[in-house]
């Protein structure tokens, strides 16, 4: 039997489940326990290899403290638009992969705790500079 590729919408929803779960510091085991599932089933949902039913998605939203719409945010642009080129779609996937990584979650959590908008902008400028994307200076530090 041939393996099918997961639907891009299912993958997106799974990524959003994983991102939110990690942001609140919940393990797959704990989410599975609250859903009455094994952590392996949660893994399948997060990878998009298994579809999440509407009732299960509603239950996940309540457990994770978000609206059902949260899981579909930004889905229309990269996954459904015919006008998105391959480079832009690949860039979006790279960003989502990072945001779903342990480092991405840690960075976002710490960054969101910075209350001062000026400091947040300076942190962004610093990171761009370190990454070599600063337009003002291309000299190494």
SS (H, E, C) the chain: CCCCCCCHHHHHHHHHHHHHHHHCCCCHHHHHHHHCCCHHHHHHHHHCCCCCCHHHHHHHHHHHCCCHHHHHCCCHHHHHCCCCCHHHHHHHHHHHHHHCCHHHHHHHHHHHCCCCHHHHHHHHHHHHHHCCCCCCCCCCC
Residue 64 belongs to a domain: yes
What's the domain range around 63? 8-80
86 in a structural domain: no
Residue 110's pLDDT is what? 87
Provide the CATH number for the domain around residue 49.
Answer: 1.10.260.40
- Position 72 in a domain: yes
| Tens place of pLDDT per residue across the chain (141 aa) | 666 788 899 999 999 999 999 889 899 999 999 999 999 999 999 999 999 999 999 999 999 999 999 999 887 654 444 444 555 555 656 777 777 777 888 888 888 889 998 998 999 899 888 888 655 544 444
Count of structural domains within the chain: 1
- Position 119 in a domain: no
Residue 108 is assigned to a structural domain of this protein = no
Please indicate, yes or no, if residue 137 is contained in any of the structural domains. no
Global model pTM greater than 0.85: no
pLDDT for residue 83: 47
Domain assignment present for residue 34? The answer is yes
The percentage of the chain sitting over the pLDDT mark of 90, rounded to a whole number, equals 43
The verdict on residue 27 lying in a domain is yes
Give residue 50's pLDDT.
94
What pLDDT does residue 55 have? 96
């Amino acid at each position: 039997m041939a393996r099918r590729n997961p639907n891009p919408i299912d993958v997106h929803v799974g990524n959003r489940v994983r991102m939110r779960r990690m942001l609140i510091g919940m393990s797959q085991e704990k989410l599975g326990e609250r859903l009455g599932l094994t952590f392996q089933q949660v893994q399948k949902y997060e990878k998009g290899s298994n579809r999440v039913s509407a009732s299960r998605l509603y239950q996940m939203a309540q457990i994770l403290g978000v609206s059902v719409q949260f899981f579909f945010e930004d889905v229309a642009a990269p996954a459904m638009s015919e006008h998105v080129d391959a480079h832009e779609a690949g860039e979006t996937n790279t960003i989502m992969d990072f945001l779903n990584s342990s480092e991405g979650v840690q960075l976002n959590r710490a960054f969101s705790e910075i209350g001062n908008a000026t400091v947040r902008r300076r942190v962004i400028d610093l990171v761009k500079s370190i990454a070599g994307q600063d337009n003002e200076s291309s000299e190494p530090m």
